[in-house]
Amino acid sequence: MRLEYTERQNKFRTEIREWLAANVPKQTLQSFDTEEGFRQHREWEHKLNSGRWSAVTWPEHLGGRGVDLIEWLIFEEEYWRAGAPLRVNQNGIFLLAPTLMEYGTEEQKKRFLPRMAAGDDIWAQGWSEPGAGSDMAAIRCKAIRDGDHYVINGQKTWSTRAVWADWLFGLFRSDPDSVRHHGLTFVLLPLNLPGITIRPIKQLNGLPGFAEIFFDNVRVPVENRMGEEGQGWNVAMATAGFERGLMLRSPGRFQQTAKSLVDLYKAEEKNVDDCSLRDAVVKSWMDAEAYTLATYATAGRLRRGEHIGPEASTNKIFWSELDLSMHETAMRLLGPRAELMGGAPDAGNIGHWLEGFLFAQAGPIYAGSNEIQRNIIAERMLGLPR
């Protein structure tokens, strides 16, 4: 056991810290779920990429720095510490890219990854359908082979960032006679193809953070398929594994929230006569630390060549509940001011807590609901009968 950073890791931290200090926009960007905000965030991705910071774990020839997972965690810590903008391309960089690295052809990697790193292509996800939410194997949206194309017909929904994104990755039924997780194919497609209709869906905050997508005879070249035809489920599961496992929510995010919560508590303590709040703040710090430690431990295991197994599902539950409880604590600390919208003239600088509180509500639902995660833990980690 060695719980210290190496010289090289410390140097890496200093380098990213200095770059961020010089480059993070002083003014908070608008939400990337607005058209202008999306543009601003794309510009920020260009900037990050100009310093070769947008995808540090990728090999150098694809736009990364070839660093390992510990350095990625360090990068993330510094990123959150600096209050840098949210990653508009996180679907691409953190979810699709690891899958592309594993299942994509060399040609696909060269075609998609550098543009992804640069923010030239922003990616949306196409998993859920009206009849396929937690039960993803119930997917019905078809991609039927016609010569050197797939013809796509059907509907996707809850597609995050799809309103302004350039590309979509998702799972489609390529064998119309197949059932469940057989006969599915993983396809990448640009969202400006003829036959695609995107209908924005407003989220709790009133902004169109996701969308419905309708496909009407949309033709996608076969070379946009990832993995073999009919093998899409396995490819998608790899993505889901990364999503639950490590890359979707790095600990820096929650540590930054916990730290802000400590500051909020110190500022508000005298105004709030509720002795349970100190405990809640202590618990936030503890759980953010626990999540960090567990993530470092997992990164260490992966670096030794081990794999993330079903215990990844414990991560998803832990961080989503942590995020909820931290924001609930903040709302309780803010008391009657907590409901004030960010732009309210007398609110002061507290709007990010309400935004975070709303977003935290979604945590136990997306990326596989926490009920599904508990089933996975019980069946695959604890060995309980189906």
Partner 1 sequence: MDFAFKDEHIAFSDSIRKFLMVEAAPEWLREIWETETGRSRELRGKLAEQGLTALSVPEEFGGIGAGDLEWVLIHQELGYYAIPDSLIDTAYLATYLLNRLPADAALKKTWLPKIADGSARIAVGHPVNPMVADAQNADLILMWHDDEVHALAKDQVKLSFNPSIDMSRRLYKVTWTPSEATRICPARLGKQLWDGVLDRAALAGAAQLVGLTQRMLDLGIDYSATRKQFGKPIGSFQAVKHHLADVAVKAEFAKPVLYRAAYATEREQARRGVYVSHAKLAAGEAAWLGARKSMQVHGAMGYTWETDLQMFMKRAWALDAAWGDRAFHKKRIADFILADGARLGPGETFA
- Chain residues binding partner 1 by CB under 8 A are 1-6, 9, 13, 70, 74, 76-78, 80-81, 251-252, 255-256, 258-259, 262, 265-266, 278-279, 281-282, 285-287, 289-294, 296-297, 299-300, 304, 311, 314, 317-318, 371, 373-375, 377-379, 381-386
Nearer to partner 1, 54 or 284 (CB): 284
Would you say 33 and 208 are in contact if contact means Cβ atoms under 8 Å apart? yes
Nearer to partner 1, 46 or 352 (CB): 352
Q: DSSP of 318-365, one letter per residue? A: HHHHHHHHHHHHHHHHHGGGTTS-TT-TTS-TTHHHHHHHHHHHHTTT
Per-residue tokens: 347: 């609110």
Q: Which amino acid is at 236?
A: A
Would you say 85 and 44 are in contact if contact means Cβ atoms under 8 Å apart? yes
Per-residue tokens: 377: 């833990």
Nearer to partner 1, 26 or 304 (CB): 304
Q: Is 100 exposed, middle or buried (0-12, 13-18, 19+ CB in 10 A)?
A: buried
Q: How far is the CB of 244 from partner 1 (least distance, A)?
A: 13
Nearer to partner 1, 94 or 172 (CB): 94
Measured distance CA(12)–CA(3) in Å, rounded: 17
Helix or strand run (H / E) with residue 299: helix 276-303
Nearer to partner 1, 185 or 320 (CB): 320
Catalytic residue among 4, 229, 243, 339: 243
Q: How far is the CB of 351 from partner 1 (least distance, A)?
A: 21
Q: How far is the CB of 304 from partner 1 (least distance, A)?
A: 7
Measured distance CA(169)–CA(184) in Å, rounded: 13
Nearer to partner 1, 291 or 357 (CB): 291
Q: How far is the CB of 353 from partner 1 (least distance, A)?
A: 17
Residues 6+ apart with CB under 8 A from 109: 62, 100, 101
Q: How far is the CB of 254 from partner 1 (least distance, A)?
A: 9
- Identify which of 110, 113, 81 has the alpha carbon closest to the alpha carbon of residue 16: 81
Per-residue tokens: 147: 């010569």
Respond yes or no: is residue 15 known to be catalytic.
no
Would you say 113 and 62 are in contact if contact means Cβ atoms under 8 Å apart? yes
Per-residue tokens: 351: 């709007």
Q: How far is the CB of 299 from partner 1 (least distance, A)?
A: 8
- Identify which of 76, 173, 196 has the alpha carbon closest to the alpha carbon of residue 127: 173
Q: Which residues are catalytic?
A: 243
